[in-house]
Amino acid sequence: MGVAEEIARKRAELAGFITASAAAVLSEQMTEAERGVVAVDLLRLMMASGLQAPSAPMIDVTPAPVARVAPPVVRPVAQPTAEALVAALTPPKRRGGNRRTRRFTDEQLLAAIEKHGRDSAAIAEELGVSKAWIIVERRRLGVSAPAGGIPRPGSAKHAVHDWPMVDLRWTDDNVAKLREMAMRMPRTPTADIAREFGTSVNAIQTAMSRFSITRNSGNEPNDLSAMKPRKCMTCQKPFASEGIHNRRCNSCKSNDHRIAA
């Protein structure tokens, strides 16, 4: 036997081995990764031996599915019109927020109050606004409708127009005068102080808050002759008692309030 015949026989045996091994790879229990490694080794052996590749595949390998993404839908852009360009270039209208345009004067509101009394709904219908707005304006003028059927006090009628208004400036002299009038005993009504300065009651109250002016309560001062140290009936600690009626300290009283809350 010649060398060429021996080579042909060995190649035929190798081809049979490769074909049998490929069939065994499909029948054996192994993972896809292991099956791929064996298939690559068989392919390398076949390429090294110079054998021709078989016409049919030795191992059917199912290709992995390829994820297909739909292309984005491109919609045609509408051509801008002249109206759209004008609307885009026009500045927005200024908003007034919660501010409302008054449709009546203070004199008209006071006349309606004189006509309808505490019926805010009738006043709102006559002036063409809401009832809530009428209530706010009445409070501003100091002629708010009382709850129930209690008649309005005389001091509340035309509170804004009882005295002439002046352009008031809170100088040091005016602040000192306001402080002196606020501390008078007996207590001076706020309306009288406003009349003295020629301004409104709200302006006087605002000034007192601005300059930290406090008023006396108007009550008679407490009799301090009966004040002496007494023991608290709860904690038995001494404290400054105003009289025989005051037998518990402030700490024990505050504890009662916290427990009740």
Residue 172, H or E segment: helix 172-182
Structure tokens that stand for 240 in this block: 């400054």
Query: b/e per residue, 5-42, with b = 16+ CB within 10 A?
Result: eeeeeeeeebeeebeeebeebeeeeeeeeebeebbeeb
The span from the CA of 89 to the CA of 109, in Å, is: 43
The span from the CA of 107 to the CA of 109, in Å, is: 5
Tens-digit pLDDT profile for residues 32-43: 788 778 777 877
Decide: 194 and 224 in contact? Cβ < 8 Å: no
What is the model's pLDDT at position 59? 52
- Look up residue 97 and give its DSSP letter: T
Structure tokens that stand for 15 in this block: 């081809």
Report which of 196, 198, 124, 110 is spatially closest to residue 152, judged by C-alpha positions.
110
The span from the CA of 62 to the CA of 44, in Å, is: 21
In the predicted model, what is the mean pLDDT of the chain? 75
Res. 150 pLDDT band, cuts 50 70 90: very low
Tens-digit pLDDT profile for residues 75-125: 777 777 777 777 777 766 655 555 556 678 888 888 888 888 878 888 888
What is the model's pLDDT at position 261? 47
